[in-house]
């Protein structure tokens, strides 16, 4: 179907959803951060993961933990897709048995953090450079051996990515990342 055979409403809808107008046009894929409050029951996380797997949705990361209420867990999911796919993900998450609340925080003000443990090769020659870099990123050394240092760093994903990039030339031996956790930011003094 070419743009000449599409109505103006169809063109508007496709553009808004990030869908291609003509075959071969690229799709507008967006990364979304979705928080899901679920009842803390056996199998709740499994049902969410199975929903993504069964529908063929891309799931970049999942972080889950108890909330201030022990009977409720918060899942933070990072997924990608055009607006139509994300809308479908949100509807299907809302329909799961244990789901209490689903929120796509991507387009609003939100706070996000990620934890990274990074083991890097070190020697006397690069020790000070490693320590200086970690200090700039507010990271700390959590383990040291005669030939490796393990750093702990928390912050937004962009900060973690920048730190990993700075450490890569030194020889990353091992890395563990938690995935994102996020929640809406309250803007008390917004005018």
- DSSP secondary structure string for all residues of 113-161: EEEEEEEEE--HHHHHHHHHHHHHTT-EEEEE-SSEEEEEEEE-HHHHH
Q: Residue 174 contacts by C-beta under 8 Å, 6 or more apart in sequence? A: 117, 118, 119
Residues of the chain with CATH 3.30.70.1150: 110-184
Count of H helices and E strands in the chain? 5, 9
Which residues sit opposite 89 in a β-bridge? none
Q: Which CATH superfamily, name and number, covers 12-104?
A: ACT domain (3.30.70.260)
* pLDDT the model gives residue 1: 42
Q: Look at the domain 110-184 and name its fold.
A: Alpha-Beta Plaits (3.30.70)
pLDDT of residue 20: 63
pLDDT in tens, the chain (191 residues): 444 577 777 766 666 556 666 666 666 677 899 999 999 999 888 998 888 888 888 888 899 998 999 999 999 999 888 888 888 889 999 999 899 999 999 888 889 999 999 999 999 999 999 999 999 999 999 999 999 999 999 999 999 999 999 999 999 999 999 989 998 888 767 66
- For residue 9, the model assigns a pLDDT of 74
pTM, two decimals, is 0.72
What is residue 2's predicted lDDT score, i.e. its pLDDT?
Answer: 46
DSSP code at position 11: H
Q: Which long-range contacts (CB under 8 A, 24 or more apart) does 45-51 make?
A: 45/73, 45/75, 47/96, 47/97, 47/98, 48/75, 48/77, 48/93, 48/96, 51/92, 51/93, 51/96
For CATH 3.30.70.260, the residue range(s) in the chain are: 12-104
Buried b (16+ CB within 10 A) or exposed e, 13-45: ebeebbbeeeeeeeeeeeebbbbbbbebeeebb
């Amino acid at each position: 179907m070419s743009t000449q055979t599409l109505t103006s409403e169809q063109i508007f809808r496709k553009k808004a959803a990030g869908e291609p107008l003509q075959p071969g046009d690229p799709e507008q894929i967006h990364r979304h951060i979705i928080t899901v409050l679920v009842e803390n029951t056996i199998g709740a996380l499994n049902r969410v993961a199975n929903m993504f797997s069964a529908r063929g949705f891309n799931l970049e990361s999942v972080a889950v933990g108890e909330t201030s209420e022990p009977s409720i867990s918060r899942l933070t999911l990072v997924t990608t897709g055009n607006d139509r796919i994300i809308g479908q993900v949100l509807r299907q998450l809302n329909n799961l048995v244990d789901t209490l609340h689903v929120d796509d925080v991507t387009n609003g003000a939100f706070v996000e953090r990620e934890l990274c443990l990074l083991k890097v090769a070190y020697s006397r020659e690069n020790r000070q450079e490693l320590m200086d870099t970690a200090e700039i990123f507010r990271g700390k050394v959590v383990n040291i051996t005669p030939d490796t240092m393990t750093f702990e760093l928390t912050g937004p994903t962009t900060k973690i990515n920048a730190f990993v990039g700075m450490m890569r030339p030194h020889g990353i031996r091992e890395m563990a990342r938690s995935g994102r956790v996020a929640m809406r930011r309250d803007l008390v003094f917004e005018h």
